[in-house]
Structure 1
Amino acid sequence: MKYGLNLLLWTTEVTPEHAPLLADIKRWGYDGAELPLFSGDEATGKRLGRMCDDAGLQRTGVTVCTPEVNPISDDPAARRAAVDHFRSILDCCAAAGIETLCGPLHSPLGQFTGKPRTDVEWGRAVEAIAAAGEHAADVGVTIAVEAINRFECYFLNSQMEVADFAAAVDRPAVGCMYDTFHANIEEKDPAAAIRHAAPHLRHVHISENDRSTPGEGQVRWDETFGALKEIGYDGWLVIEAFGLALPELAAATMIWRRMFSSEEALATNGLEFMKRRTA
């Protein structure tokens, strides 16, 4: 198992000023850092790769869609822009030495039609992610598509659905991820969802029901870790938590109060929790 920490706890863009933070993440005992990649190119990737190498960290990446780069849009230009965006981010990942790019690549966050997804939208997303998956294979990166709860998107909400989506895309470099925060909202049976996702599972986010320190809330951890052990999962476990460090990100993630004593306490306590549960 490999243990990572998502840098969205501190920033939406990793810059040279975050070098001491990367060193801290290594000192706390993590194997890798998960880097937010909302834009980027090969030059950006090389810089990020050097920073992580200097800290002795492996890395994964996370990205999102916006209305301008929307795989399910009615506008063909937005759909083409989405594929171009994914290719650029994947090139950045390859240059950075990022092995897995995760996130809700299927649709923009917070954009709703007031209706469930349509078959047309499903087909558009499959086509776009398949194209991205072919480029991912060319550059040696794996895509792990994320389901997001009903309050943040309407396209893929359950872990069952995202596994079926990965199967429909049917590209070797495309799989799905499991996020315990979203599963806590959407899944009646987390273990069944993990077992269903097993053939396509490429990444796991460890996130508490209140987005703070894993192990201190209401997520069904016994079932979650039991199912991951049952299917033989041995990839990344990455803590994704959010705080008040960035007002804009705090607002986007609906964090209105401080829920942990310090980022270091969250990181170290969360890592100890993951290692204890996977021992």
Structure 2
Amino acid sequence: MIKSAVTIALVPEIKSGPWIFWEDLEKGLEKAATLGFDAVELFTASADALDENLLTNLLQKHGLQLAAVGTGAGKVIHGLTLTDPDPEVRQKAISFISEMISFGAKFGAPAIIGSMQGNVLPNGNREETMNWLAEGLAMLEKKAAESGVFLIYEPLNRYETNLLNTMEAGSVFLEKTGLENTKLLADLFHMNIEEVDMAQSIRSYGKHIGHVHFADSNRRPIGFGHSDISPIAEALKKIDYQGYVSAEAFPYPNPDAAAEQTIREFRKWFR
């Protein structure tokens, strides 16, 4: 069964990002539960920024699951990426993500690698950079497997990374490097920019998809842009996708309205 999730960000430095609920964890969980979401996707400053017992109790209180944990704070706050030319920085990035994997795994939630993948620098060597990415992911997917979860890699659009931008590129990379415990994140906003046919990409590379970000063409909630969701929803059903469809979208026109619009669209297409 395809499940619904909504984002909650607890990192002030990323407040301008595409997250539905902000700052108040308990209030965000309460609203998510009231609207009928199955889970939340959580963004914290670090693995130890949130008390695990508190999160456990709050999730149980509101009958919610943890869908995934983001790692973007590692880049935004600390400037860490898996492809930095400095091996010490790459190791710090691996350590930061490893801690996030351990944190999320306690709730059965995988960690997402988005901005922490980095870029090929202007004077950098692409092959060398891609090798660094493969080496980092190999270590991290092993850590995830040992923790009982998979790892999520997110192909981003060309304006955010020059590494892997499409489902095809991500799938080829996973297969070429033998990354068997790493799944792709199909973010509909990024796909709207990069894919020729989003639904066809989902059908073609569905076996690698482990998470979906539910956002329209303008990164607002579904229904507030021009993406045609009907074929996308059908493609996810066609590949028998069983994961989360998570609203990583701007809180437009406000958090409550954005959450209501998201769950309304989710039910329209998946229930």
Pair in the same fold by TM > 0.5: yes
Q: How many Å apart are 1:234 and its aligned residue? A: 2.0
Q: Percent identity?
A: 23
**Mean Cα displacement is larger for which, 131-140 or 57-66?**
57-66
Counterpart code for 2:93: A
Aligned residue for 1:208?
Answer: 216
The answer to whether the aligner puts 1:278 opposite 2:270 as a matched pair is: yes
Aligned residue for 1:19?
Answer: 26
Q: How many Å apart are 1:43 and its aligned residue? A: 6.7
* Larger RCO: 1 or 2 (CA < 8 Å, sep 6+): 2
Q: Give the alignment partner of residue 38 of structure 2, picking from 14, 21, 31.
A: 31
Q: 1:163 to 1:48 in 2, by over 3 A?
A: farther
Aligned residue for 2:48?
Answer: 41
Tell me the alpha carbon deviations over residues 80-125 of structure 1, each in whole angstroms, 9 at most, x when there is no partner: 1121111111111123x042222416523xx673479711111110
Aligned residue for 1:3?
Answer: 4
Do the aligned partners of 2:82 and 2:136 also contact (CA within 8 Å) in 1? yes
For residues 52 and 175 of structure 2, what CA distance do their matches in structure 1 show? 29
Aligned residue for 1:248?
Answer: none
Q: How many Å apart are 1:36 and its aligned residue? A: 0.5
For residues 46 and 137 of structure 1, what CA distance do their matches in structure 2 show? 23
Counterpart code for 2:110: T
Matches within 5 A, 1:99-178: 99-104=109-114, 107-108=117-118, 113-114=121-122, 118-178=126-186
For residues 116 and 28 of structure 1, what CA distance do their matches in structure 2 show? 47
Cα RMSD between the aligned structures?
2.3
Do the aligned partners of 2:20 and 2:258 also contact (CA within 8 Å) in 1? no
For residues 42 and 98 of structure 1, what CA distance do their matches in structure 2 show? 18
Counterpart code for 1:91: S
For residues 137 and 266 of structure 2, what CA distance do their matches in structure 1 show? 31
Counterpart code for 1:107: Q
Do the aligned partners of 1:137 and 1:172 also contact (CA within 8 Å) in 2? no
Q: How many Å apart are 1:166 and its aligned residue? A: 2.8
Q: Give the alignment partner of residue 71 of structure 1, picking from 68, 75, 82.
A: 82
> TM-score w.r.t. structure 2 length?
0.86
Aligned residue for 1:263?
Answer: 255
> TM-score w.r.t. structure 1 length?
0.83
For residues 47 and 148 of structure 2, what CA distance do their matches in structure 1 show? 17
Q: How many Å apart are 1:219 and its aligned residue? A: 1.3
For residues 157 and 266 of structure 1, what CA distance do their matches in structure 2 show? 27
Question: Where in structure 2 are there 5+ consecutive unaligned residues?
Answer: 9-18
For residues 191 and 21 of structure 1, what CA distance do their matches in structure 2 show? 31
Do the aligned partners of 2:20 and 2:247 also contact (CA within 8 Å) in 1? no
Q: How many Å apart are 1:164 and its aligned residue? A: 2.3
